[in-house]
C-alpha cells in the first residue's frame, strides 16, 4: 500500500508540474501549496493506515496460531472418536459373547436339573432296594434263629442217642460178663478210668464277620506273647464313599499298630476308616515274647452282600430291632447305624467290647447297667450271666433301638454216663 501511495503522490506531482507549466506561476504556487496542504493532511491517515495494517498482520498471526491449535484439537478429537468407535465395537462383540455364554450356562443349568431329577429317582430306587435288603436281612435273621433252634433240637437228639448207645453198650458188657462167669451173680458195674476223656459232640456256631488269626485269651501273663481279644468292624460291607469303624481290645502288649494306613494305636479303642477298595486291616501287637496278629476285612462294592467267613471264636448274630439307614434328616427319628459286640460268646469272668454308632439323636443310653453314652464309642462289659444290651436313641421325632446279646457259656459237652447192669 505504501508503494501505491508513493505512486499516487508522484503522479500528483507530475500532474501539478504539467499544470504549472501551462498556467501562471501564481496559480501554480497556490495550487502547489494546496497540494502540500493535502499531502500534510494525508500523511496522518497514511500513518494510521500503516498502523492498522500492522495490527491486522498481528491479528492474522494470532488467528493463524488459533487455527493451528484448533486443527490439532480437531485431530485429537477425531483420534479419540476413532478409539471410542473401536471400544464400542469391542464392547458389542463382548456383549454378544456374554449372551452366548449366558445361553450356554442356561443350557448347562437345565442339564444339571435333569441330572438332579435322575439322581433323585436313582436315590429313591436305591432307598427302596435298601429297604428290600433290610427286609431280606430280617428274614435271614429269622431263618438263622430257626436253624439255631433246629440245631439245638438236633443236639438234644444226639445227646439222647448217645445216652441210649451207652446204655446198650453197658447192657452188652453185662451180658458178656454174665456168660463168662456164671458163678458171679452180683451185678457188675462198668467202671471206667477216671482219666478217660468222655466223647464230645462238636457244635458249629454261625461264623462271625471277622477272621481271627489267634484266639482271644482272658488276662495277660509275663513271658507270653500279646493277646488280641477282639478286632471287629461295624460294617463289613460298604458302598464306595461310605465309612466303617474298626474297634479292638489288646492286652499284654508293648506296642500296637494297625496296617495299612493307620499306624500306632492304644490297647482299647475305635477308629473310622473309608477304604476305596476291599481292604484287610491287620492289628499287630508285640512285646518281648513275640508278636500276635488279628485281621478284619472290609469289602467295598456297588451293593451290599452277605458273606460268610470262618472264625475261631463262636458268635451269635446281633438282634436288629430297626434296620439302619444311610442318612438322617431333620424331623426323622434317630438312626442307629451299628451296635455290635467283639465277643458275642464268652466264658465266665471274660469281657467283651460293645461298639456303636448313632446319628440324629438328642440323648443316647445303653441298658442295662451302662446309662448315657456318646454317639460314637466303645465300652468293655463283663456280664456274669447272658445279657441282652439295648442301645436307645431319642429325639423329638421319636425313639430308635438296637440290641446286642452277649452269652455266657462254658461250652456244650456231652459226657458218657456209667451204665449199671441190671
Q: Give pairs for 367-375: CB < 8 Å, separation 24+.
A: 367/392
Collapsing DSSP to helix, strand or coil, 255 comes out as strand
The set of residues, in sequence order, having a beta carbon less than 8 Å from that of 407 and lying 6+ positions away, is 316, 344, 345, 346, 386
Other Cβ atoms closer than 10 A to 201: 13
Q: What is the DSSP string of 77-129?
A: HHHHHHHHHHHHHHHHHHHHHHHHHHHHHHHHHHHHHHHHHHHHHHHHHHHHH
As a whole-number percent, the residues of the chain with pLDDT over 90 amount to: 23
Diameter over CA atoms, the chain: 226
Question: Which of 87-91, 217-221, 373-377, 392-396 is predicted most confidently?
Answer: 392-396
How much is the pLDDT for 19? 67
What mean pLDDT is reported for the chain? 77
**Which segment of 9-18, 367-376, 385-394 scores lowest on mean pLDDT?**
9-18
Higher pLDDT pick, 193 / 244: 244
3-state helix, strand, coil in the chain (%, to 5): 40, 25, 35
Higher pLDDT pick, 22 / 197: 22
The whole-number average pLDDT for the span 136-140 is 85
Is the pLDDT assigned to residue 325 strictly greater than 80? Answer: no
Give yes or no for a cis peptide into 368 (omega within 30° of 0).
Answer: yes
The pLDDT tens digits for 174-185 are 666 555 555 444
Burial of 220 (0-12, 13-18, 19+ CB in 10 A): middle
Is the pLDDT assigned to residue 263 strictly greater than 80? Answer: yes
- Rounded CA-CA distance 324/327 in Å is 9
Collapsing DSSP to helix, strand or coil, 305 comes out as coil
Distinct helix (H) and strand (E) counts, the chain: 2, 16
The pLDDT tens digits for 100-125 are 999 999 989 999 888 999 898 888 88
Give yes or no for a cis peptide into 157 (omega within 30° of 0).
Answer: no
- Rounded CA-CA distance 206/311 in Å is 9
Whether 199 and 261 have beta carbons less than 8 Å apart is answered as no
Which DSSP letter does residue 293 get? E
Collapsing DSSP to helix, strand or coil, 370 comes out as coil
The set of residues, in sequence order, having a beta carbon less than 8 Å from that of 336 and lying 6+ positions away, is 322, 324, 356, 357, 358, 391, 393, 400, 401, 402
As a whole-number percent, the residues of the chain with pLDDT over 70 amount to: 75
- Rounded CA-CA distance 328/335 in Å is 6
- Rounded CA-CA distance 229/351 in Å is 9
Q: What is the DSSP string of 306-362?
A: ------SS---PPPPSS---S---TTS--EEEEEEES-SEE-TT--EEEEEEEES-S
The whole-number average pLDDT for the span 266-284 is 90
Is the pLDDT assigned to residue 151 strictly greater than 50? Answer: yes
Is the pLDDT assigned to residue 49 strictly greater than 70? Answer: yes
- Rounded CA-CA distance 294/312 in Å is 11
Give pTM, 2 decimals. 0.26
Would you place residue 258 in the very low, low, confident or very high pLDDT band (cuts 50, 70, 90)? very high
Question: Which residue carries 506531482 as its cell?
Answer: 13
How much is the pLDDT for 77? 93
- Rounded CA-CA distance 333/354 in Å is 23
Question: Directed axis angle between helix 25-180 and helix 2-22, to 10°?
Answer: 170
Collapsing DSSP to helix, strand or coil, 54 comes out as helix
Which DSSP letter does residue 417 get? P
Identify the CA nearest to 357 among candidates 256, 238, 262: 238
Is the pLDDT assigned to residue 146 strictly greater than 50? Answer: yes
Amino acid at each position: 500500500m505504501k508503494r501505491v501511495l508513493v505512486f499516487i503522490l508522484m503522479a500528483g506531482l507530475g500532474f501539478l508540474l504539467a499544470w504549472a507549466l501551462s498556467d501562471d506561476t501564481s496559480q501554480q504556487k497556490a495550487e502547489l501549496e494546496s497540494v502540500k496542504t493535502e499531502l500534510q493532511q494525508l500523511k496522518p491517515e497514511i500513518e494510521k493506515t500503516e498502523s492498522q495494517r500492522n495490527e491486522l498482520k498481528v491479528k492474522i498471526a494470532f488467528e493463524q496460531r488459533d487455527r493451528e491449535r484448533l486443527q490439532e484439537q480437531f485431530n485429537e478429537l477425531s483420534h479419540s472418536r476413532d478409539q471410542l468407535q473401536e471400544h464400542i465395537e469391542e464392547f458389542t462383540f463382548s456383549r454378544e459373547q456374554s449372551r452366548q455364554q449366558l445361553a450356554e450356562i442356561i443350557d448347562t443349568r437345565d442339564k444339571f436339573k435333569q441330572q438332579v431329577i435322575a439322581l433323585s429317582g436313582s436315590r429313591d430306587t436305591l432307598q427302596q432296594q435298601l429297604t428290600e435288603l433290610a427286609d431280606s436281612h430280617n428274614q435271614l435273621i429269622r431263618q438263622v434263629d430257626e436253624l439255631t433252634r433246629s440245631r439245638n433240637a438236633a443236639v438234644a437228639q444226639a445227646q439222647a442217642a448217645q445216652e441210649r448207645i451207652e446204655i446198650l453198650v453197658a447192657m452188652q458188657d453185662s451180658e458178656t460178663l454174665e456168660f463168662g462167669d456164671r458163678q458171679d451173680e452180683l451185678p457188675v458195674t462198668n467202671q471206667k478210668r477216671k482219666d478217660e476223656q468222655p466223647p464230645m459232640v462238636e457244635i458249629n456256631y454261625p461264623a462271625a464277620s471277622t477272621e481271627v488269626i489267634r484266639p482271644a485269651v482272658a488276662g495277660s501273663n509275663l513271658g507270653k506273647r500279646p493277646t488280641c481279644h477282639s478286632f471287629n468292624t461295624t460294617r463289613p460291607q460298604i458302598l464306595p464313599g461310605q465309612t466303617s469303624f474298626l474297634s479292638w481290645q489288646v492286652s499284654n502288649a508293648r506296642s500296637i499298630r494297625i496296617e495299612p494306613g493307620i499306624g500306632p494305636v492304644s490297647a482299647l479303642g475305635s477308629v473310622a476308616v473309608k477304604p476305596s477298595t476291599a481292604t484287610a486291616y491287620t492289628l499287630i501287637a508285640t512285646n518281648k515274647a513275640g508278636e500276635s496278629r488279628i485281621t478284619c476285612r472290609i469289602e467295598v462294592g456297588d451293593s451290599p452282600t452277605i458273606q460268610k467267613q470262618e472264625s475261631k471264636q463262636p458268635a451269635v448274630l446281633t438282634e436288629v430291632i430297626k434296620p439302619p439307614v444311610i442318612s438322617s434328616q431333620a424331623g426323622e427319628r434317630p438312626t442307629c447305624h451299628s451296635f455290635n459286640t467283639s465277643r458275642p460268646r464268652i466264658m465266665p469272668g471274660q469281657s467283651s467290647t460293645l461298639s456303636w454308632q448313632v446319628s440324629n439323636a438328642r440323648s443316647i443310653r445303653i441298658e442295662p447297667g451302662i446309662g448315657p453314652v456318646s454317639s460314637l464309642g466303645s465300652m468293655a462289659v463283663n456280664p456274669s450271666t447272658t445279657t441282652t444290651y439295648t442301645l436307645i436313641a431319642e429325639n423329638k421325632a421319636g425313639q430308635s433301638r438296637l440290641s446286642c446279646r452277649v452269652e455266657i457259656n462254658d461250652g456244650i459237652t456231652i459226657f458218657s454216663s456209667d451204665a449199671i447192669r441190671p
